[in-house]
Amino acid sequence: MPSTPVDIPAFASHQLLLLDAELQSELSETSLLVSSSTPSTLSRAGLAILNLQISSQRTGLGGKTVLELALDPAVAGSRKGGADIPEHGIKVGDIVGVQEQPVGSARRKEKAGLRERGVEGVVGRVGRDRLEVVLGKDPEGEELGGLGTGGRLWMMNQTMSNLKALPESAYTPFIRVLFGLTMPTPLPVPLPTPLTWLDPTLNPSQKDAIRFALASREIALIHGPPGTGKTHTLIELILQLLSQNLRILVCGPSNISVDNIVERLAPHKVPMIRLGHPARLLPSVLSHSLDILTRTSDAAAIVQDIRREMDAKQASIRKARNGRERRVVYGELRELRKEFRIRERGCVEGLIRGSRVVLATLHGAGGFHLKGQEFDVVVVDEASQALEAQCWVPLMWVKAGKLVLAGDHLQLPPTIKSLNTKEVKKAEKEKKTDKKTKARDDGEGETEKGEKSKDVNKSTTLETTLFDRLLDLHGPSIKRMLTTQYRMHEKIMRFPSDELYESKLVAADAVKARLLKDMPYEVSDTEDTKEPVVFWDTQGGDFPEKTEDEEIGKKAGKGMSLGESKSNELEAALVKLHVSNLVEAGLKPEDIAVVTPYNAQLAILSQLVKEDYPEIELGSVDGFQGREKEAVIVSLVRSNPEHDVGFLGEKRRLNVAMTRPKRHLCVIGDSETVGRGSKFLKKWMEFLEENADLRYPNVSDLYVDERNSG
């Protein structure tokens, strides 16, 4: 049974509040760092651009108001002549709202509906340092005046506002299932089998997931734990859908996630188009890029003809003998340009309509090219890395029959800064007070919608992904899990499998017993290279953590433990000792990664370890998601008498940390502190004590080692 159905306008309003809270949180950071170079979570997700000002305003074609927006110089720094807008996902054709940016006390003063005061339009041009928005309807003078007077503006993709405004009559069966208004259509048992598998090496859980996704009518989740071949499975699914003559839109939260699929589909000669700016695509996928095909395909010839004609005309201007002749040529050029635009649009439309597989980032799929296009299936890879608001960009834009999401909700969700706690609660309280006042004024009680929206608010934060929410709504019957993993030694896999994946993971034969000593190059057999899991237990209080001061934390921090970053110098020394042991045994430094949840620890490690072994990869746990290495050393850092573990307590972060290695996992940490952090941590420490090669470091050895290494 689904849990309570979700009220769609209330859901969208709540999402807007959450986005607002994220904006608040990003602002408090950008205003401190005065940084115009780091894209924020919202800009990366293609949902917003912050800190803008109206630089000019004119009347464009059809008498429409065109606003030109540039970065507020106060934020951009002292540079004259327009600073570059940080990388963002907003593009020509996007429907956006331009609104006043809420700032601290101003927000409280203006709580009576900031959003309503903004203006809506379509992005007409996007430049390095400025962009233009063509307003939909002429704003009332007051609205624009309000926007123009000094305050900063932000531009936000309108998807959620559009969802909020969607009339009930427009809810498709598919949308109704996504919000629990109807149950997913029950599937036949047993599932029908597709005739032939194109990839004979698929394992049973992969085949089952594909059969399930093919048979599902509205939604299917493919749950891919680490290394289980999620993308591999999606490729076969896409090929099977194609063989059923269906049309497919494939999206991912990042360009790389989409390009990965294009590259893997290419050998199958799939007729596909990749949308997106060519500069952001991998060189290997450019031949499928819409922009490139618009110039090179057969259909483009007719566009090129007219381009040549325009070039010739342009050149003939010089030969004109007088002003009258020049005017004539300019007139002809104008006509040609018009014709060029019409033909180009026709060519683009033809290419898109003719392609059975269209690929784009979630946000890129919201472009005007795809507006109203019909797709039998929308496939989203890395869905648990995407904000729900991001997923709705394509879902609101195209007509979709069915949605397949692939991801792992037990790894980290997209990084956001606000965590939506304080700000959202505050905003909700304000909203409720407003609503109550309004209801009182209108002589009404709380509406049914108001009641329902409370449910939504309780259960969703910005980091609740669509994947999470659907699983919550409809339960595990809408998903299939891939269970054979092709990355980790059996022993490395054991704990995450038992604790997070219901003991269902199985290590593929090719990987289950692989050790460092069996590397394809010469590595000697040592106490380290013959062990899949090593635990250096630093308990006893000799390895105390240190709290870094706020500034260091902030500089290093990208959404992680800002202002309270922790480090542990002795643990770092231990990392170095373990690395040098591995390298001495013959392991190449490029086959080793060191990950830690704390940026301050990363800073120490990059001095201590990276200097001697520049090829080693160092990373935050969050940044290493999706990656793998032969040997991974995890430095847990926390060691204090209070047994405080901070954000180390997040299961999903630990899961990512412990599932990166193929042949060797080395954990360095204080079992006394860490083991008291949470039930999960306690179990992990117990598991390591029983199953890992356990070592107790001697601090004085490390000091000696430190002095020796100079």
Residues that bind ligand ATP (CB under 6 A): 201-203, 206, 224, 226-232, 486, 626
Shortest reach from residue 232's CB to ligand ATP, in Å: 3
> Which lies closer to ligand ATP via its Cβ, residue 627 or residue 679?
627
Tell me the C-alpha to C-alpha distance, in Å, between residue 624 and each of 72, 412, 414, 599, 664: 34, 11, 13, 13, 16
> Which lies closer to ligand ATP via its Cβ, residue 204 or residue 475?
204
Strand, helix or coil for residue 33? helix
Q: Judge contact between 374 and 247, C-beta under 8 A.
A: yes
> Which lies closer to ligand ATP via its Cβ, residue 300 or residue 482?
482
> Which lies closer to ligand ATP via its Cβ, residue 25 or residue 465?
465
> Which lies closer to ligand ATP via its Cβ, residue 441 or residue 509?
509
The DSSP line for 451-479 is: HHHHHHHHH--TT--HHHHHHHHH-GGGE
> Which lies closer to ligand ATP via its Cβ, residue 231 or residue 415?
231
The vertex-351 CA angle with 349 and 355, nearest 5°, equals 115
**Closest-CB residue for ligand ATP?**
229
> Which lies closer to ligand ATP via its Cβ, residue 344 or residue 628?
628
Q: Judge contact between 13 and 484, C-beta under 8 A.
A: no
Neighbour-count burial for 136-161, b at 16+ CB within 10 Å, e otherwise = eeebeeebbebbeeeebbbbbbbbbb
> Which lies closer to ligand ATP via its Cβ, residue 52 or residue 656?
656
Shortest reach from residue 201's CB to ligand ATP, in Å: 4
% helix, strand, coil for the chain, step of 5: 50, 15, 35
> Which lies closer to ligand ATP via its Cβ, residue 206 or residue 565?
206
At position 113, the amino acid (one-letter code) is G
C-alpha span between 577 and 586 (Å, rounded): 15
Shortest reach from residue 195's CB to ligand ATP, in Å: 19
C-alpha span between 388 and 380 (Å, rounded): 12
C-alpha span between 605 and 627 (Å, rounded): 19
C-alpha span between 276 and 176 (Å, rounded): 30
C-alpha span between 415 and 362 (Å, rounded): 17
CA torsion through residues 506, 509, 511, 513, sign = positive
Shortest reach from residue 689's CB to ligand ATP, in Å: 28
State the Rg of the chain over Cα.
Answer: 28
Shortest reach from residue 357's CB to ligand ATP, in Å: 18
**Helical segments of 196-322, H only:** 204-215, 230-243, 255-265, 290-296, 301-316
Shortest reach from residue 230's CB to ligand ATP, in Å: 3
CA torsion through residues 47, 381, 507, 469, sign = positive
Shortest reach from residue 658's CB to ligand ATP, in Å: 13
The residue among 157, 193, 147, 173 whose CA lies nearest residue 54 is 147
> Which lies closer to ligand ATP via its Cβ, residue 227 or residue 661?
227
Shortest reach from residue 317's CB to ligand ATP, in Å: 55
Shortest reach from residue 202's CB to ligand ATP, in Å: 5
Shortest reach from residue 575's CB to ligand ATP, in Å: 24
Shortest reach from residue 503's CB to ligand ATP, in Å: 19
C-alpha span between 560 and 412 (Å, rounded): 12
Q: Judge contact between 434 and 111, C-beta under 8 A.
A: yes
The vertex-691 CA angle with 690 and 692, nearest 5°, equals 110
Distant-in-sequence, close-in-space partners of 455: CB < 8 Å, separation ≥ 6: 4, 6
C-alpha span between 682 and 495 (Å, rounded): 12
Neighbours of 559 (CB within 10 A): 19
> Which lies closer to ligand ATP via its Cβ, residue 234 or residue 685?
234
Shortest reach from residue 60's CB to ligand ATP, in Å: 45
Tell me the C-alpha to C-alpha distance, in Å, between residue 343 and each of 313, 348, 371: 18, 9, 19
Shortest reach from residue 381's CB to ligand ATP, in Å: 8
> Which lies closer to ligand ATP via its Cβ, residue 224 or residue 366?
224
Q: Judge contact between 414 and 392, C-beta under 8 A.
A: no
> Which lies closer to ligand ATP via its Cβ, residue 227 or residue 367?
227
